[in-house]
Structure 1
Amino acid sequence: MNTNAFGAHNMSFKDFLSHTVESCEGSEIPRLRLAQALLGLTLALFTHFAPAQVIKLGHTSSPSNSLVGAFSREYNAGIQMAVDRTNANGGVRGRSVALVSQDDGFDAKNTVSLVETMVDQQGIVALVGVVGTQPTVRLVENRILEKHRLALIGPLTGLQSALAGPNVFPIRSSYEDEVRAMFGHSAQLSRSKVLFLYYEAGVGPSLAPLISEMASERGIALTGVIGFPVKTDRAAQQGVIRKALQGSSATPDSVVLIAVGQAHSEAVKAIRHHFGIGMPIYSLGQVDASALVADVGLELARGVMLSQVMPAPRSIHLQIVREFNADRKRFAPKMEPTYAFIEGYICGRIAIEVVRSAKEITRESVLLAAEQAGQLDVGGYRVYYGRDRKRSVNPIELTIVSRNGDLAR
């Protein structure tokens, strides 16, 4: 005889309750206790047969901010595409994954409150891809991640002190390693005098105190470590940069420029004006090369070198890049394959693998899974996570804006 979940042949839940009450008529079981027992049974059955709960991953970025909005949107789109891929393939243990994205306006104070809300009200099990150095630093310094036993996987920053923080699991090399690569390249080309120019936002102020020692390691003589304020007006921005460049002690052989967005474009214009159009310029890979060309023109953008910590998004050599482009055609056909886009995608893929390896889908269990992950290889892109050491295990490359405006390796 076939029986259903209520232990009776073709008996509905309603019939089961009626049968139970009738069988207790005249017994010594108090009705209150009977009602309590039936309520407990109802809740247990509802929990057993309820649809699987969605797994929520938290994310903060600054798509509305003029300074970092462009790569925030691309990075966010990459994480979302990794989520879409996962759900299209059955989710994680049959449960769908959702990305809870919040705009912090590139204000670290907002980041903290938004993360608290996502934990307390939305039940996220991990943070994925927080955009910005200062937002990441604030989460670490305020011990928000430790307070909630929350893993932060793949923050969009390269500041080593932030990446080494408790519960932070990077997917990229540090800014320090990127600048060392720039200094090393300049030294190899016998360009031993370098100006370090940075905007006074984001990573710039945190990185500046470390530059003298890093330059010395590579045999570089600095002609200056000079910061400039960020202005919303282009003419005002150009003015403060030109004034700052007057502080260089000598004409450098090359310039390392740490800035993004409009501030970076205006700095490129000012450097070309001050030192000549042939002055070599190094910048971080977060700079959007196509936007730079559109902003300053090919003549000024040509020759700008960008460090890259991610694989080339149009390459075919790594499996993760081939999957990225296949998923892009499927889920985001209108998006161009940029470095920020693929970094977000790789971040999402790694975060989901960590969640998948957790014994339970809770904040505590996901954090433990990250701490014990060891070396993770996602389509040829590798990271190493342990309690005492967490890092990307991938090369840093230098690319250059070519004569046709593309990035060449």
Structure 2
Amino acid sequence: MRHVTRLWAALIIALAIGGVAIVVATSTGGLSWFDNADGELATNQDGAPGQLAPDVAGGSDLESVPSGEPGVFDDYILFGQSAAFSGPANELGINMRLGIKAAFQEVNQRGGVNGRQLELKFMDDAYEPEAAITNTKQLIEDGIFALIGAVGTPTSRSATPVAAEEGIPYVAPFTGAAFLRDPEWQNIVNLRASYNQETEEMVERLTEDLGIERIAVMYQDDSYGRAGYSGATSALARRGMEPVSVGLYPRNTLAVKTGLLDLRKGNPEAVIIIGAYQPVAALISWARFIGMDPIFMTVSFVGSNALAEELVSMELRSAGTGVFVTQVVPFPRDTSLPIVQSYHRALSDFAPAAEPGFVSFEGYLAGRLAIAALERCGRDVTRTCFLDIIRNEEPFELDGFEMRYGLDDNQGSDAVFLTVIGRDGTYHPISTLLESER
């Protein structure tokens, strides 16, 4: 009873300060928050991962009459997202969400999809697998239509069985893990190229462009890191090579020094890094500090903009010069591309202060893919129709960016792009590693 009294007191206080936030009780007894007036994320009182209430982009009535299909109502469709909104990978979740919401608002302002607005309910898993399971179960209980924009391999590995058991579409996770590309997962819809494809591009460019033979691998010690490590070692093995040294570090930490010392033992000419932006920045800065100067390459999951900003914030802009990052979406500032023009308009309209970036662009593409599939389903939207349309129908052409699926292919794009951090601390698109400013 005392807990209930405190809860209602919090509710009264929140309402009394002018509606800046609305406090609600979750099914587990914790506190959750709607977005504040500025659209910023809010957490529960102790700042721990927790539920974030529905984000209503089009002003729809949450008491709308359901159609019979979970998450589908007379005038809106509810998507769910469990992603990292706190912790060392928080920029990835925040920017995936930003892009998805920009796409949803774009279609909502045109009247929605076949008369229905699209809404997003999101929860913070802090890049922790256990929280991802809890969040996924809660979102399903809350009646979402589909999950979209999950962040990470370990979180996806834990959440996908829960989603699959309930037949929930699992759309555009921000990970290139191979297990998600298994066609036996009938509910998974991948947007991006795999880590195997990214690391193959790295090894091909290192060996063919620069003739490098001594390649080391540094990876995060979890399913994400091991997925990237497997891709890198397989790419090397196809050329009769193996890593000259290997280092690793614990997930969700910056404890990279031991792994760095292991790398140094092999005297590598190049290091492939499979990690998140904060530990990757720490690794590069420490390597420069101890006099190591190999070529550093990392995969798209690093969060390219966040990595560059992290290096700049550490006053190590020069340390980032010449760092290569493979990307799985086109360059987000190349406005010669119609899809990039559309992304810029949607992003500017939704969040005028936001800068274009690779992660929010991927989120935007995820939102556009979901919209395109729903449009093809017509008014009678079901999860089965949504998944069948994606897997069995013609390619999706999003303003010139094509995604093609099939019965045995749940990955829409195979494209891998090369970028490098220049002396100005920003990314530049390149075709070969010879274009580096090192």
Q: TM-score surpassing 0.5?
A: yes
Give the Å deviation of 1:213.
2.5
Higher normalized helix content (fraction of residues): 1
Residue of structure 2 equivalent to 1:381: 401
d(CA) in 1 for partners of 2:233, 2:297: 17
Distance 1:221 1:108, change over 3 A: closer
Q: Distance in 1 between matches of 2:187 and 2:291?
A: 44
TM-score after normalising by structure 2: 0.75
Aligned-residue offset at 1:219: 4.9
1:175 aligns with 2:199: no
Amino acid at match of 2:322: G
Change (3 A) 1:275 1:398: farther
Instruction: Name the aligned partner's letter for residue 315 of structure 1.
Output: D
Hey, what does 1:117 align to over in structure 2?
138
How many angstroms apart in 2 are the aligned matches of 1:47 and 1:333? 34
C-alpha displacement at 1:103, in angstroms?
A: 1.0
Which sections of structure 2, spanning at least 5 residues, go unmatched?
1-64, 68-72, 430-438
In the superposition, relative to structure 1, how do residues 373 and 271 fare at CA in structure 2: closer, same or farther (>3 Å)?
Answer: farther
Aligned to 1:106, what secondary structure does the other structure show? coil
Alignment RMSD, CA only?
A: 2.2
Identify the range of structure 1 (288-297 vs 378-387) with the bigger mean alpha-carbon deviation.
Answer: 288-297
1:90 aligns with 2:111: yes
Q: Could you report, residue by residue, the CA deviation over 1:123-160 in whole angstroms, capped at 9, with x for unpaired residues?
A: 221111111111212233x3x23322221111000012
The residue number in structure 2 matching 1:31 is: none
Query: Which ranges in structure 1 are unaligned for 5 or more consecutive residues?
Result: 1-45
Query: What residue identity is the alignment partner of 2:82?
Result: T
Question: Contact 1:355–1:366 at 8 Å: present in 2 too?
Answer: yes
Contact kept? 1:92, 1:356, Cα under 8 Å: yes
Q: Which residue of 1 aligns with 2:170?
A: 152
Paired positions, count: 352
Q: Aligned partner of 2:76: which letter? A: V
Asked whether 1:58 is paired with 2:83, we answer no
Q: Name the stretch that deviates more: 364-373 or 299-308.
A: 364-373
Give the superposition deviation at 1:56.
Answer: 0.6
1:229 and 1:52, CA in 2 relative to 1: closer, same or farther beyond 3 A? closer
Q: 1:119 to 1:316 in 2, by over 3 A?
A: same
SS in 1 for 2:359: helix
Cα deviation per residue 1:151-203 (whole Å; 9 max; x = unaligned)?
Answer: 11110000121233331111100011101111011001101210011121451
- Give the secondary structure class of the aligned counterpart of 1:213: helix
Change (3 A) 1:87 1:358: same
2: CA distance, partners of 1:177 / 1:47 = 42
Tell me how far apart the structure 1 counterparts of residues 252 and 375 of structure 2 sit (CA, whole Å): 44
Higher mean alpha-carbon deviation, 189-198 vs 367-376, is at 367-376
Change (3 A) 1:115 1:90: same
- Aligned residue for 2:304, secondary structure, equals coil
Change (3 A) 1:115 1:180: same
Contact 1:242 1:274 in 2 (8 A): no
| Residue 257 of structure 2 corresponds to residue 239 of structure 1 | yes
Aligned twin of 2:392: 372
Q: Superposition pairs for residues 304-323 of structure 1, below 5 Å? A: 304-323=323-342
8 Å CA contact 2:75–2:115 kept in 1: the answer is no
Q: Tell me which residue corresponds to 2:283.
A: 267
SS of corresponding position for 1:306: strand
Amino acid at match of 1:287: S
Cα 1:223–1:171 change in 2 (3 A) is same
Distance in 2 between residues matched to 1:148 and 1:355, nearest whole Å: 19
**In 1, Cα distance between equivalents of 2:234 and 2:257:** 30
Alignment correspondent of 2:296: 281
Aligned mates of 2:409, 2:240 — CA distance in 1: 28
Residues 81 and 328 of structure 1 are in contact (CA less than 8 Å); yes or no, is this contact kept in structure 2? yes
1:47 Cα deviation from its structure 2 partner = 9.3
Whole-Å separation in 2 of the counterparts to 1:373 and 1:102: 32
The equivalent of 1:6 in structure 2 is none
Structure 2: distance between partners of 1:114 and 1:228: 26
Please give the secondary structure, in 1, of the residue aligned with 2:347: helix
In structure 2, distance between residues paired with 1:201 and 1:213: 18
Q: What TM-score comes out, normalization by structure 1 length?
A: 0.80
Counterpart residue type for residue 300 of structure 1: A
The 8 Å contact of residues 198 and 257 in structure 1, kept in 2 or not, is answered as yes
| Paired residue secondary structure (2:370) | helix
Partners in 1 of 2:250 and 2:66 — Cα distance? 56
* CA-to-aligned-CA distance 1:238-259 (integer Å, 9 cap, x gap): 533344335x3x3111111111
The answer to whether structure 1 residue 333 and structure 2 residue 352 are counterparts is yes
Query: Which residue is equivalent to 2:70?
Result: none
Does structure 1 retain, via aligned residues, the 8 Å contact 2:199–2:228?
no
Instruction: Please say if residues 80 and 144 of structure 2, whose CA atoms lie closer than 8 Å, have aligned partners that are also in contact.
Output: yes
Residues of 2 paired with 1:230 and 1:303: CA distance? Answer: 25
Task: Give the drift of 1:231.
Answer: 6.6
Tell me how far apart the structure 1 counterparts of residues 344 and 248 of structure 2 sit (CA, whole Å).
38
Distance in 2 separating the partners of 1:115 and 1:154: 15
Q: Which residue of 2 aligns with 1:252?
A: 268
Residue 245 of structure 1 contacts residue 274 of structure 1 at CA under 8 Å; is this kept in 2?
A: no
- Give the whole-Å Cα distance in 2 for the aligned partners of 1:357 and 1:60: 26
- The structure having more radius of gyration, on CA atoms, is 1
Q: Which residue of 1 aligns with 2:180?
A: 162
* Deviation, structure 1 residue 88: 0.4
In the alignment, is the contact (CA less than 8 A) between 2:395 and 2:404 conserved in 1?
yes
Distance 2:420 2:359 in 1: 16
**1:306-353 CA-partner distances (Å, limit 9, x unpaired):** 101111111123211100111122111111101011110111110111
Distance 1:371 1:47 in 2: 26
- Asked if 1:216 is matched to 2:237, the reply is yes
- Say if 1:212 and 1:135 are closer, same or farther in 2 by CA, change over 3 A: same
Paired amino acid for 1:197 = M
* Paired-residue identity, %: 22
Superposed CA deviations along residues 278-299 of structure 1, whole A, max 9, x for unmatched, are x211011233343133144112
Distance 1:198 1:304 in 2: 16
